Amino acid sequence: MDCEEWTSYSNIENKSGKIECPECKNHEIDTKLCLDMLVNKEIIKRKLIELSFEDIVEVNYSAELDNQFDVTINKIDLECESAIKEINDYRDSLFKKLNEKKMNLINQMKKLNLKITIIADFKSSRENLEKEIKQNKHELKVPNDRLKLVEELIGKLDLVSVPNEKRNHFFQTEPDYSNQTNILISKEMVHTLIYGNENQQLNVTHHFRKLMSKGSNLPIDQVINTGIVPKLVEFLQRNNHQLQIEAIWILTNIASGNSLQTGCVIEAGALPILVQLLSSSSKNVQVQAVWTLGNITGDSPQSRDLVLDHGIVPPLLHILSQQMHLNLTRSAVWCLSNLCRSKNSKVESALTILATLLSNPDVDVLADATRAISHLSDGADAKIQKIINIGVCPRLVELLKHSSQNVIQAALKHHCWHQGPDSNGLRGQHISQAN
């Protein structure tokens, strides 16, 4: 410029005519003449060339980065596929080992040749029962071959097991903590379970579950005395299936105790939530909820009626109508068997489902379904007529020849309950139709 100063191109780039000198401010400059100067033209062209070169380099770097990212993503995908395959292979190997362990345990149980405990007062009344069957032989119109079959079965069943109305939830692989409970339950654990964040609560609940999953002497009272039962019930309402499972597991084993211990679960408000969880999207949560409700129903007639009043029958029958998950079906039919001990008419709607369950190939399902029907038929003649009307009598007679003693016991109990000296025409009809 005239003042022999240099200025930035941006100071005059978009301006026209004469402007004040951007450097010395003491004179005016003509922007067109300034930009048309040869030296300035050369500088401007050089700068444009440099900018173009930078754009080219930037485009090349961008393409290279995209290529590198694609390569990296492909490597990640390959690693993920490999990891998934390893996980699946490991899972399959665990399932194989678990199945082998199961078969070993079954074989061991067969070799032990365990004797079963007798049904309450069955042994003392067996001789009378045999006499009553013989005395009513002609009145009931029971064919000789059927009568002989029943007599043989009674002779075989010298010792018959009483079905357990409550069941514990054990982890056989866990160490026995029952003698160390006071040491392993600390104030810090209780405080964390009540006030910690969700991950901390899950870890501590898992620890409590392990304490309650092994040993013949479960520390039920010690766990109740910590005051965590209401908090465990609160966990059932969380949107966290793992936390729900851990909490229900503990409640299941608390409810497997005496009536006072079971009452703690009821008083904490667990019943309506457990009934809701029967419709959970998680099968494992459903199994645990059914198990806990089964223990509560097996506690006493009062507890059973409370469970019925909370509407357990419709969701339980929905589970049994699907029969999609064996463990869930087993737990549900066992729970239903406990419910059928009630004289409440609400359970009579289960008859149709129970009739279909008599065709289930699983021995546990079959035994509990048969036992449930026998409970429903215990009472007035009208109840027996309902059993006859659904057409299950021929199947019940077939089950007297089943290979499982549990199934035979349940079927025999059903027949024997309705063959006393006070048998009337209806009960005779029940036996004759069963033939």
Mean pLDDT of the 199-210 span = 93
The backbone torsions φ and ψ at residue 13, rounded to the nearest 5 degrees and listed phi first, read -60, -50
In the predicted model, is pLDDT for residue 140 greater than 80? no
Tokens standing for residue 270: 């667990």
**For 214, which DSSP code?**
S
pLDDT band (50, 70, 90) for residue 97: confident
What is residue 273's predicted lDDT score, i.e. its pLDDT? 96
- CA nearest 232: which of 206, 256, 211? 206
Mean pLDDT of the 424-430 span = 30
SS3 assignment, position 19: strand
Neighbours of 424 (CB within 10 A): 9
What is residue 177's predicted lDDT score, i.e. its pLDDT? 45
Residue 143 CA from chain centroid, whole number: 47
pTM equals 0.57
pLDDT band (50, 70, 90) for residue 295: very high
pLDDT band (50, 70, 90) for residue 262: very high
In the predicted model, is pLDDT for residue 416 greater than 70? no
Distance CA 191, CA 182 (A): 15
Tokens standing for residue 195: 């006030």
What is residue 20's predicted lDDT score, i.e. its pLDDT? 76
In the predicted model, is pLDDT for residue 146 greater than 80? no
Instruction: Fill in the amino acid letter for 6.
Output: W
Mean pLDDT of the 62-73 span = 75
Please give the share of the chain, as a percent, with pLDDT higher than 70. Answer: 66
Neighbours of 343 (CB within 10 A): 15
Q: Which residue is listed with tokens 């173009």? A: 52
Distance CA 385, CA 350 (A): 15
**For 196, which DSSP code?**
S
Residue spans of the domains in the chain: they are 9-36, 122-434
Mean pLDDT of the 23-44 span = 70
Sign of CA dihedral 71, 73, 74, 75: positive
Distance CA 241, CA 234 (A): 13
Candidate ranges 87-96, 320-329, 337-346; pick with highest mean pLDDT: 320-329
In the predicted model, is pLDDT for residue 300 greater than 50? yes
Neighbours of 25 (CB within 10 A): 8
Torsion of CA 249, 251, 254, 255, to 10 degrees: -110
In the predicted model, is pLDDT for residue 311 greater than 80? yes
pLDDT band (50, 70, 90) for residue 245: very high
pLDDT band (50, 70, 90) for residue 433: very low
What is the CATH architecture of 122-434? Answer: Alpha Horseshoe (1.25)
What is residue 126's predicted lDDT score, i.e. its pLDDT? 54
Distance CA 341, CA 259 (A): 17
Mean pLDDT of the 418-431 span = 35
SS3 assignment, position 20: strand
What is residue 82's predicted lDDT score, i.e. its pLDDT? 81
**For 342, which DSSP code?**
S
C-alpha radius of gyration, the chain, whole number: 39
